[in-house]
Amino acid sequence: MSWTSLAQTVGASLGGSYLFSWLMAVIAGNTTQQLVNRTGRSNGQLWFMKPGILVHEALHAVVGLVFGLHITAFSLRPTADSAAHVSFRYASHSWRARLGLFFSASAPVWGISATLLLLGKRAWWPQQAWAAISPHNLAPDWPWVAGWALLTVMLTFGLALSHQDLVNMWRGTPFLVVLLGLAYAVLAWLAPAALAGWWRVNQLAGGFALVMLALSVVVNRLVTWLVA
Amino acid sequence: MAQQDKLIQRIWPGFSKSAGYAQLRQAGQPAAYLRHTAELVNDMMDAAVGADPKQWQTDDISGMLLDFLEMAAADDDADAQAIFEETYALMKALLSYLANQGEIGASPQGLTLLFTRFEREIDAAFGAGQAPGFIDWADDPQVAGLPQWQENRVLSLQEEFGEWFNGFVKLKGTAELVKHLGEVGLARALQNFVERAYDGYRKTPRSWSKHVIDAVYQDAQYHQVSGLSPAQWPWLGKALVAFIDYGSKHGFVTKRYAAQVIPWLKSGCQQLIATGLPESSPLAAALQAVIEAAVANGELDPDDPDAISAFEATLQDKLADFGMLDSKVSMIPELPHDPDKLAALVKDAGLVAELVDAFDTDSDFLDQHQKVVEGRRWDRDTAIANHDQALEVGVKLWLLQRDYPFPTAAEIADIVSTVTAFADVMYAQHITTIGAWSPQAFASYRRWLLGREDRETLALFVEIIRRTIAMLYDEATFSKDRARKLQLAIGATPTVDGQGHGQVISLDQGKRRLAKKQRR
């Protein structure tokens, strides 16, 4: 076992997830807060934030269901202390359910990111394979670009994970660590070459994360300029 | 306890020959029951005020009577009113006797006046369902002139104001007020408003009427002491709205009260309408535009303050919160419904820890606290440990519902958050951890809570804390005597049986036992 290899695989997957989620929570949270301050309304009361909130909650719920969590409440109606809410119950002795805590809690970040990246690829590089994408062969499909830009702005408001989301991610983390540790051990034993593939996947995910962070910063600056 | 026993023991021969006692016996009350109840009254006063009867003033007794009335009125038991009235008859006779003999601090005249006022409230509390916690003795309209000004009341108002303002001034939304008034200026304007309302009208913030707010707002003396310049004056309206709004969210005034007063503050007074929100705020513009449109369409009579108030209240509901709200995701482990299976899970340390994590959502408990209380110094690590212990106690109380059943359909979140919030307050304000909880701190909190919560909420709170104490007694955290005093101080019938060994009985069992004793 190499510590470098462990850091590039298990460490980068976990650390990257947390760093990306936290940065997104900070940037998207700031974007939302600026609009709330400007309008004097809560985000739950602003129509243009509703799609982001809907997708945010739906991703929590759908991913939770996939992992066997039982939804006991789901509402998009704002209350005194929440813009919307979803409640789960889970079998405490089920590994699947416990992994679901991590993935369901973090689902809005990677779910919305994946959606925007896929649509962005379709909008900007409709004819290119993923591996061939570069700034030199941009071929924007403008109607798609317009739709993608609108969606990017709207879904940005659903990217921010709450403090409770981060806590729930943390509660599922021990089981993910064990799972990733086992995967690492098995690969290191049976297919060491696959560890290099894992590291490449992490790098690719890091690249996508940087793109998403850049997009969020652009939306944030745009909002700052608009409300000034 | 020994001192209390001595008091009852000492006065009993004389009291049992008094006219008041004779009337009670003629009404059919058994001698043993009267003695038992007298000791219970003594326990309640001891828990709420102190063991020295000379300290028992009229105000303390009124607080105890209010607690008792509130508890009885909230009880669904068909016999509750009858039990209350019979017990009250003994309280009245006993306390009058003690006052006549000079055994307690309250004067016989003060007590007579108190009983007269109190008896007006009994039917109202049981019949009309009014929460007796809202009774303000000092503002009884039947008394000519104003009640006596009391220094201790002003001191307690000042202490409460400090706590209220310290939280209020930290709000992001208060920054705009601070910008225009300065923090010192804002504090001075609001504190003088609070004190002037008491000095001039004997009104505390939770009983400020619209008339009093208006009167203080126009009071020449307040204008002198407020420290507000003409340019700053218009900001007072917004400050009052925000201050009361914050107070309603943090238990200083009831939400019901705030819901009545805030729309009125914004709509009932022209000066406050104009200044309720900054002119630059899009919300203010929207609010004004909607009102003007409604007036123009003939939907709203501009000369009808009630209609405007109702209209504004509806608008306020729609524009309820200006803050950024998070989505809320709760993930709770599945728990069995069977009480025996649930109780068995107490031994599952992993699950208990998981439930504790799931319900540990309050991150504000370290924000506001006393620094030193009676030589005890606040400590961050202790506050966190106390909070964690409270979470665990709350979770265990839920799991052990077989042994400590809840009378209402309370959810696990209600139980855990109530126990935790209470333990946090006990440490923040009295610097006492769970094992060191004192009846005096409980009684102080109970008095603070009265009038701030509606009856159902208060009753549920008392039930939860009563069972918490019973469970902690069974875990040997408290002695029997301490547990009884704590339960009394929080306003509950003591359920730690004085005859048994660690036996815990329910409220209903206790009531039935009392009723049986009376009917013997």
B74-130 pLDDT, tens digit each = 666 677 777 888 888 888 899 999 988 888 888 877 787 678 667 766 766 666 444
* Beta carbons of A45 and B283 less than 8 Å apart: no
E strand or H helix at B353: helix B349-359
The answer to whether the CB atoms of B320 and A42 lie below 8 A apart is yes
Please name the amino acid found at residue B84. Answer: F
The partner residue sitting opposite B327, judged by closest CB among A39, A57, A88, is: A57
Question: Cα–Cα distance between B379 and B217 in angstroms, integer?
Answer: 41
Please name the amino acid found at residue B310.
A
Ranking A63-72, B59-68, B82-91 by mean pLDDT, the lowest is B59-68
Residues of A in contact with B321 (CB under 8 A): 42, 44-45, 78, 80
Interface of chain A against chain B, CB under 8 Å?
Answer: 29, 32-33, 36, 38-45, 53, 56-57, 60, 69-70, 78, 80-92, 101, 104-105, 160, 162-165, 167-168, 171
In chain A, domain spans? 3-45+108-227
Q: Do B357 and A82 touch (CB under 8 A)?
A: no
Nearest to B329 among A43, A160, A165 (CB): A165
More confident residue, B130 or A145: A145
CB A188, CB A5: distance < 8 Å: yes
Q: How confident is the model at residue B425 (pLDDT cuts 50, 70, 90)?
A: confident
- pLDDT confidence of residue B287: 58
Average pLDDT over residues B367-371: 68
Q: What pLDDT does residue B242 have?
A: 85
- Chain A residues with CB-CB distance to B329 below 8 A: 60, 85-88, 104-105, 162, 164-165, 168
Q: What stretches of B280-365 adopt beta strand conformation (E)?
A: 327-333
Select the residue from A60, A62, A67, A85 to test the B interface by mutation, using most B Cβ atoms within 10 A.
A85
Mark yes or no for CB contact B331/A101 under 8 Å.
yes
SS3 state of residue B504:
strand
Count CB neighbours of A81 within 10 A.
12
Contact B68, B450 (CB under 8 A): no
More confident residue, B277 or B33: B33
Residues of B in contact with A56 (CB under 8 A): 327
Q: What ipTM score was computed for the predicted complex, to two decimals? A: 0.73
Tokens 């238990």 identify what position? B251
Residues 6+ apart with CB under 8 A from B76: none
Looking at residue A141, what is its pLDDT?
A: 93
| pLDDT over 60 (residue B334) | yes
Q: Which residue of A has its CA nearest to B336?
A: A91
Among A1-10, A29-38, B281-290, the least confident range: B281-290
Contact A105 B329 (CB under 8 A): yes
Provide the pLDDT for residue B290: 62
Q: How confident is the model at residue B382 (pLDDT cuts 50, 70, 90)?
A: very high
Nearest residue to A46 via CA among A201, A154, A146: A154
Chain A residues lying within 8 Å of B319, measured CB to CB: 40-41, 45
Specify the pLDDT at position B351: 87
Give the closest residue to B207 by CA, choosing from B260, B158, B264.
B260
Name the residue of chain B whose CA is nearest to A29's CA.
B324
Mean per-residue pLDDT, B19-35: 85
* Range A62-83 average pLDDT: 82
Give chain A positions within 8 Å (CB) of B318.
45
Q: How far apart are CA B373 and CA B432, in angstroms?
A: 9
Contacts of A82 in chain B (CB under 8 A): 325-328
Which chain B residue has the Cα nearest residue A40? B322
A-B CB pairs within 8 A amount to: 112
Query: Which has the closest alpha carbon to B322: B165, B206, B170, B174?
Result: B174
Please provide the average confidence, as pLDDT, over all residues in chain B: 74
- Cβ separation of B330 and A83 shorter than 8 Å? no
Residue A217's pLDDT is 94
Total residues belonging to chain A? 228
User: Among the listed ranges A110-124, B48-62, B415-429, which one has the minimum average pLDDT value?
Assistant: B48-62
Averaged pLDDT, B43-47 = 78
A162:B329 CB<8 A: yes
Flag whether pLDDT at B4 surpasses 60: no
A-chain residue closest to B361, CA distance: A164
Question: Mutating which of B241, B280, B329, B391 best tests the A interface, going by the most A Cβ atoms within 10 A?
Answer: B329
Q: Do A36 and B327 touch (CB under 8 A)?
A: no
Looking at CA atoms only, how far is residue B193 from chain A in angstroms? 28
> Could you tell me the pLDDT band of residue A213, with boundaries at 50, 70 and 90?
very high
Residues of B in contact with A85 (CB under 8 A): 327-330
State percent of chain B over pLDDT 70.
70
B interface with A, Cβ–Cβ below 8 Å: 281-283, 286, 318-334, 350-351, 354, 357-358, 360-361, 363
**Span B124-167, pLDDT tens digits:** 666 644 443 333 333 333 333 455 566 666 777 777 888 888 88
Closest chain A residue by Cα to residue B249: A80
| Residues contacting B514, CB < 8 A, separation 6+ | B83
Q: Looking at per-residue confidence, does A227 or B515 come out higher?
A: A227
Contact at 8 Å (CB) between A141 and A126? yes
Could you say which of B319, B333, B354 has the minimum Cβ distance to residue A41? B319
Contact B326 A86 (CB under 8 A): no
> How much of chain B, in percent, has pLDDT values that exceed 90?
8
Contacts of residue A167, Cβ cutoff 8 Å, sequence gap at least 6:
B357, B360, B361
How far is the C-alpha of B64 from the C-alpha of B57, rounded, in Å?
Answer: 11
- A56, A91, A104: residue with CB nearest B334: A91
Q: State the number of CA atoms in the 13 A half-sphere of A155 facing the CB.
A: 23
